[in-house]
Amino acid sequence: MDRRQRKTREAIFHAFTKLLSQKDFNQITVGEIIEVADIGRATFYSHFETKDYLLKAFCEELFCHIFDTENDDPHGHRHIFDCDGSDSVFLHLFQHLQKNDNNILALLASQNNDLFLKYFRANLETLVESQLSLFERPTNIPEAFWKNHIISTFIETLKWWIAGGMIETPELITEYFFSVV
């Protein structure tokens, strides 16, 4: 990939991240992104069709970083699925989210973030499926409902944590989460 393209793309992502820490996604205008990234208008639109496609690309990189099982972790980064038996992947995920790389928390807490939540849910789906054996499903409800409930509960737990200022430890939040599912 052309170095210019790479630099522009990174400048856009960087500007987007910065703006996300200041305001909600749909309060951010393309004009602002262009200004902060210091690029031309046509350049932005040559990279991303619309602002929604920027979010899509952003989420894909983000979730790839958080969820992807394929990378080798050459920098000693402890992977979400790669933990010993004493703690759960959910604890690890809460810990990871607390660090707030890439301003994922801003996206989670923001208004009108349905698109982001859609991507987040889709990625959680795989994770929850792989961990379904951890949860005891009541026999009278369908598995699809149960799975949806676990995913929803995880997201709502996370939102509750963020809304309260994240004063609890990831361990405690994980305990809360498991207590209600």
Partner DNA sequence: AATATAACCGAACAACGTGTTCGATAACAT
Partner DNA sequence: ATGTTATCGAACACGTTGTTCGGTTATATT
Residues that bind DNA (CB under 7 A): 2-5, 7-8, 29-31, 38-43, 45-47, 49-51
Tokens 């932005």 locate to 44
**Dihedral-angle region of residue 52 (phi above 0 means left; psi in -120 to 50 means alpha; beta otherwise):** alpha
Which residues make Cβ contacts (< 8 Å) with residue 151, sequence separation at least 6? Answer: 121, 124, 125, 128
Nearest to 66 by CA among 36, 40, 89: 89
The b-or-e profile of 126-165 (16+ CB within 10 A means b, else e) is ebbeeeeeeeebeeeeeeeebbebbbebbeebbeebbeee
**Structure token digits, residue 175:** 């305990």
Indicate the residue among 76 and 142 with the shorter CB distance to its own copies.
142
The least distance separating its own copies from the CB of residue 155, rounded to whole angstroms, comes to 9
The least distance separating DNA from the CB of residue 45, rounded to whole angstroms, comes to 4
Q: Which does 64 bind (CB under 5 to 8 A by kind): DNA, its own copies, none?
A: none
Q: Which does 50 bind (CB under 5 to 8 A by kind): its own copies, DNA, none?
A: DNA
Interaction site with its own copies (CB under 8 A):
26, 111-115, 138, 140-141, 145-146, 148-149, 152-153, 156-157, 160, 175-176, 179-181
Indicate the residue among 46 and 112 with the shorter CB distance to its own copies.
112
The least distance separating DNA from the CB of residue 92, rounded to whole angstroms, comes to 36
The least distance separating its own copies from the CB of residue 27, rounded to whole angstroms, comes to 13
DSSP class of residue 78 equals: P
